[in-house]
């Protein structure tokens, strides 16, 4: 069936369509019904039972894939690599699952995984899934405070970590970070298990178990079938405040959605080699490094390092050649970095790319120049696609497994079957083609979508369901064109995408505002040639504050690094005399952002003094930052 036929079928008969797709999954008890509702919120395959780790591993071992590579770890930063067949990975996961259970982890208990890109991180995720425990992976670039917030929200029984991560050539010891986070948290884990790595010794005053002590002699356990709606994981993502949102994913809907997407969106077949160049700390890592490719019987590549820097900008092409990668997925920023280092692709030409069938990009806007460069470089489709942590799988793209639709520069593609994308005006009427508005998804929402926010149903409803009754609020702005292609123009809230990483400017403002010299502040995203966006602070000093602008900037940069982490890339803050406000005193952050980013926004009639924007413009121009207004 073509994309259009499939999309129409999914939207006219979601019940029938998704029950059909559900046949892809090895249920222990097949669902009799696809869609039900609990308190008005979609639940999928509610009477079905399965175990996600079993679907990813045991099922394939039992059906002839036992000797196929399941996971290949390639780590130029440590000089190591390792391969696991499906059988080896199943056995390892079963043992770690047994060890977790021996530590007291039961179905529904939480386990925090704060680990670098090592196979043990994926093994830990699958081991939790195997016993019905709920994992929460925290990205290694986050500071102790961020880890502590997540520990307190998830209240884990066990925290799994390693002695270090490796950032290019820099060893980042994790234990001081974990120690600081645990000291700061109100609900410390009962056990902390550490994977020793040769780059950093296991030195800590915490009481810990080593990976071997906890797992080497553990008795392997069988997978525990759980209801389809049982939570598989909580993944925290940035919202508009300092409190991250704990996105809850289920077992059943997630499995069906991922299996469907592997075939329809990415056009892969079981046995193919799939590489998502991301990190297990992000949703891309959950869906397309660990669960999706394994469930579909592919070989997944887990890469530790920056695909563009270790050792050089040819690394990415080397991996594709060495492991015969069929589909590669990363953020546009990675290719911008490659292009910067290797504009004529001389390094690329050292490697064979003939295994590659498609390149996928997501996580931020794909700029036309990078798209054009890539299309001139590789002889395969270069596919932009749009989705979010909350959705778990692509909303919009060019579904290669269904059709050969043409790409369109500036558009992320067409809605994937299951997603009914609309654009609304402020009065909730539908925008005309080409007219910008709020991008929303008409309900019912498909399987795989977040179920709720961890122990915060009211925030879930307020964030996603209440703003536009009958629709899911994506927080992205954009438009649909005459051909039904979706154009995403960017976030309409206080979230920015820095090098494909989602960050909250509201959270950075909270850190900046805590400085004793700061009266008020605004953090906005400004354009960056490499990272797409980077945060930029505008600060008004308190009367009588006795600090130079340079010293304050240093303090603020250090504070954001210490509180949120280096990943925030907060490197600039300038002092301004005033910030633009409405007559009622509200800071016009959106006006600032739009003026800086695009220079297009109109100065609203409500602004108290339009001359303020000129003052800010002068300050920014002094830093070489683009035009305002």
Contact 380, 409 (CB under 8 A): no
Least separation in angstroms between residue 245's CB and ligand AMP is 10
Burial of 291 (0-12, 13-18, 19+ CB in 10 A): buried
The position carrying tokens 């080409």 is 434
Least separation in angstroms between residue 237's CB and ligand AMP is 5
* Residue of this chain nearest to ligand COA (CB atom): 141
Going by C-alpha positions, the residue among 420, 417, 414, 475 that lies closest to residue 443 is 420
* Binding at 388: pick from ligand AMP, ligand COA, none (beta carbon under 5-8 Å per type): ligand AMP
Contact 47, 26 (CB under 8 A): no
575 lines the binding site for ligand COA (CB under 6 A):
no
Q: How far apart are CA 444 and CA 479, in angstroms?
A: 21
Instruction: Return the range that interacts with ligand AMP (CB under 6 A); candidates 87-95, 159-167, 265-273, 358-366.
Output: 358-366
Instruction: Return the range that interacts with ligand AMP (CB under 6 A); candidates 110-118, 286-294, 357-365, 615-623.
Output: 357-365
* Binding at 277: pick from ligand COA, ligand AMP, none (beta carbon under 5-8 Å per type): ligand COA
Residues 130-169 that bind ligand COA (CB under 6 A): 140-141, 165, 167
Pick one of 109, 321, 384, 509: the residue that binds ligand AMP (CB under 6 A): 384
365 lines the binding site for ligand AMP (CB under 6 A):
yes
| Rounded (5°) CA angle 264-31-38 | 95
Residues 284-313 that bind ligand AMP (CB under 6 A): none
Q: How far apart are CA 247 and CA 234, in angstroms?
A: 5
389 lines the binding site for ligand AMP (CB under 6 A):
yes
Q: How far apart are CA 215 and CA 128, in angstroms?
A: 13
Residue number with CB closer to ligand AMP (110 or 502) = 502
Contact 575, 603 (CB under 8 A): no
Instruction: Return the range that interacts with ligand COA (CB under 6 A); candidates 352-360, 397-405, 498-506, 597-605.
Output: 498-506
Q: How far apart are CA 498 and CA 248, in angstroms?
A: 24
Pick one of 330, 389, 451, 474: the residue that binds ligand COA (CB under 6 A): 330
CB atoms within 10 A of CB 118: 22
Pick one of 491, 531, 589, 617: the residue that binds ligand AMP (CB under 6 A): 491
Instruction: Return the range that interacts with ligand AMP (CB under 6 A); candidates 155-163, 167-175, 378-386, 593-601.
Output: 378-386
Least separation in angstroms between residue 566's CB and ligand COA is 3
Count the site residues for ligand AMP by CB under 6 A.
18
Pick one of 569, 613, 620, 628: the residue that binds ligand COA (CB under 6 A): 569
Least separation in angstroms between residue 567's CB and ligand COA is 4
Helix (H, G, I), strand (E, B) or coil at 423: strand
Least separation in angstroms between residue 516's CB and ligand COA is 25
Question: How, if at all, do strands 518-528 and 532-541 pair?
Answer: antiparallel
Q: How far apart are CA 281 and CA 72, in angstroms?
A: 18
283 lines the binding site for ligand AMP (CB under 6 A):
yes
363 lines the binding site for ligand COA (CB under 6 A):
yes
Residues 233-262 that bind ligand AMP (CB under 6 A): 237
Pick one of 499, 503, 552, 601: the residue that binds ligand COA (CB under 6 A): 499
Residues 400-429 that bind ligand AMP (CB under 6 A): 412
Give the bridge partners for 523, in sequence order. 537
Q: In the chain, what is the greatest distance between 2 CA atoms, to the nearest angstrom?
A: 74
Dihedral (CA of 445, 446, 450, 455) sign:
positive
Residue number with CB closer to ligand AMP (48 or 363) = 363
Least separation in angstroms between residue 382's CB and ligand AMP is 12
For 194, list phi and psi in degrees, rounded to 5.
-120, 130
Binding mask 25-64 for ligand COA (x = CB under 6 A): ----------------------------------------
Least separation in angstroms between residue 312's CB and ligand COA is 12
- Tokens at 279, concatenated: 């990190």
Contact 505, 587 (CB under 8 A): no
Pick one of 41, 181, 362, 579: the residue that binds ligand AMP (CB under 6 A): 362
Least separation in angstroms between residue 440's CB and ligand AMP is 12
* Binding at 334: pick from ligand AMP, ligand COA, none (beta carbon under 5-8 Å per type): ligand COA
Contact 324, 273 (CB under 8 A): yes
CB atoms within 10 A of CB 516: 8
Give the up-direction half-sphere exposure of residue 8: CA atoms within 13 A in the CB hemisphere.
5
* Binding at 364: pick from ligand COA, ligand AMP, none (beta carbon under 5-8 Å per type): ligand AMP
CA torsion 505-507-509-514 (nearest 10°) is: -170
Least separation in angstroms between residue 585's CB and ligand COA is 35
Q: How far apart are CA 14 and CA 417, in angstroms?
A: 10
Pick one of 30, 102, 172, 378: the residue that binds ligand COA (CB under 6 A): 172
Q: Tell me how long the chain is.
A: 629
367 lines the binding site for ligand AMP (CB under 6 A):
no
* Binding at 384: pick from ligand COA, ligand AMP, none (beta carbon under 5-8 Å per type): ligand AMP
Q: How far apart are CA 608 and CA 583, in angstroms?
A: 5
Q: How far apart are CA 239 and CA 67, in angstroms?
A: 43
Pick one of 220, 270, 381, 566: the residue that binds ligand COA (CB under 6 A): 566
Least separation in angstroms between residue 58's CB and ligand COA is 29
DSSP strands (E only) in 190-317? 191-195, 209-210, 226-227, 231-237, 245-250, 273-276, 299-303
Going by C-alpha positions, the residue among 90, 142, 74 that lies closest to residue 282 is 142
Residue number with CB closer to ligand AMP (3 or 387) = 387
Contact 93, 257 (CB under 8 A): no
Instruction: Return the range that interacts with ligand COA (CB under 6 A); candidates 19-27, 42-50, 494-502, 600-608.
Output: 494-502
Q: How far apart are CA 560 and CA 508, in angstroms?
A: 7
Pick one of 9, 24, 243, 306: the residue that binds ligand COA (CB under 6 A): 306
CA distances (Å), origin 362, targets 276, 365, 413, 528? 11, 7, 11, 17
Helices and strands, counts by H and E, the chain:
20, 32
Least separation in angstroms between residue 28's CB and ligand AMP is 31
Q: How far apart are CA 326 and CA 545, in angstroms?
A: 58
511 lines the binding site for ligand AMP (CB under 6 A):
no
Provide the angle, in degrees to the nearest 10, between the axes of the packed helices 589-597 and 611-622.
50
| Binding stretches for ligand COA (CB under 6 A) | 140-141, 165, 167, 172, 277-279, 282, 284, 306-309, 330-331, 333-334, 337, 363, 499-501, 566-567, 569
| Binding stretches for ligand AMP (CB under 6 A) | 237, 283, 362-366, 384-386, 388-389, 412, 476, 488, 491, 497, 502
């Amino acid at each position: 069936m073509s994309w259009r036929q499939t999309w129409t079928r999914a939207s006219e008969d979601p019940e029938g369509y998704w029950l059909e797709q559900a046949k892809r999954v090895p249920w222990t008890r097949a669902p009799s019904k696809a869609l039900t509702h609990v308190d008005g919120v979609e639940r999928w395959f509610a009477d079905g039972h399965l175990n996600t780790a079993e679907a990813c591993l045991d099922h394939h071992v039992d059906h002839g894939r036992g000797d196929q590579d399941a996971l290949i770890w390639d780590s130029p930063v440590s000089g190591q690599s390792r391969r696991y067949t499906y059988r080896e990975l199943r056995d390892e996961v079963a043992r770690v699952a047994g060890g977790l259970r021996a530590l007291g982890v039961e179905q529904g208990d939480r386990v925090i995984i704060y680990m670098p890109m090592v196979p043990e991180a994926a093994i830990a995720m699958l081991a939790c899934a195997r016993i019905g425990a709920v994992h929460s992976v925290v990205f290694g670039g986050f500071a102790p405070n961020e880890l502590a917030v997540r520990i307190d929200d998830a209240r884990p029984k066990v925290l799994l970590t390693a002695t270090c991560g490796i950032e290019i050539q820099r060893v980042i010891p994790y234990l001081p970070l974990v120690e600081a986070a645990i000291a700061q948290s109100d609900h410390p884990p009962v056990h902390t298990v550490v994977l020793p790595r040769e780059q950093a010794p296991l030195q800590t005053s915490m009481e810990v178990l080593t990976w071997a002590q906890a797992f080497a002699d553990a008795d392997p356990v069988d997978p525990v079938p759980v209801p389809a709606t049982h939570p598989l994981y909580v993944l925290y993502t940035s919202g508009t405040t300092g409190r991250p949102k704990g996105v809850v994913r289920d077992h059943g809907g997630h499995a069906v959605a991922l299996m469907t997407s592997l075939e329809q969106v990415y056009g892969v077949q079981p046995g193919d080699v799939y590489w998502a160049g991301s990190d297990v700390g992000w949703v891309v890592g959950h869906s397309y490094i660990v669960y999706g490719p394994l469930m579909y019987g592919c070989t997944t590549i887990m890469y530790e390092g920056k695909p563009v820097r270790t050792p050089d900008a040819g690394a990415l092409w080397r991996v594709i050649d060495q492991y015969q990668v069929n589909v590669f997925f990363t953020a546009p920023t990675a290719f911008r970095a490659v292009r910067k280092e290797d504009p004529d692709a001389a390094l690329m030409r050292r490697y064979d790319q003939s295994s590659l069938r498609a390149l996928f990009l997501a996580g931020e806007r794909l700029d036309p120049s990078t798209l054009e460069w890539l299309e001139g470089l590789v002889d395969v489709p270069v596919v932009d696609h749009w989705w979010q942590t909350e959705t778990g799988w692509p909303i919009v793209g060019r579904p290669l497994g269904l059709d050969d639709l043409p790409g369109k520069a500036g558009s992320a593609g067409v809605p994937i079957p299951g997603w009914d994308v609309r654009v609304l005006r402020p009065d909730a009427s539908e925008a005309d083609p080409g007219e910008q508005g709020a991008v929303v998804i008409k309900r019912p929402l498909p399987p795989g979508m977040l179920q709720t926010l961890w122990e915060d149903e009211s925030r879930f409803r307020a964030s996603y369901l209440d703003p536009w009754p009958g629709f899911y609020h994506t927080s992205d702005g954009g438009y649909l064109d005459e051909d039904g292609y979706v154009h995403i123009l960017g976030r309409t809230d206080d979230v920015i995408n820095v090098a494909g990483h989602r960050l909250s400017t509201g959270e950075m403002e909270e850190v900046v505002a805590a400085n004793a010299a700061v009266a008020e502040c605004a953090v906005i995203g400004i354009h960056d040639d490499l990272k797409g966006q980077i945060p930029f602070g505008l600060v008004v000093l308190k009367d009588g504050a006795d600090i130079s602008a340079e010293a304050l900037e240093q303090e603020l940069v250090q504070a954001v690094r210490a509180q949120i982490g280096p990943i925030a890339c907060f490197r600039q803050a300038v002092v301004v005399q005033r910030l633009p406000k409405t007559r009622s005193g509200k800071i016009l952050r959106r006006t600032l952002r739009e003026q800086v980013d695009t220079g297009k926004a109109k100065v609203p009639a409500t602004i108290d003094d339009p001359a303020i924007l000129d003052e800010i413009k002068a300050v920014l121009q002094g830093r070489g930052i683009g035009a305002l207004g």
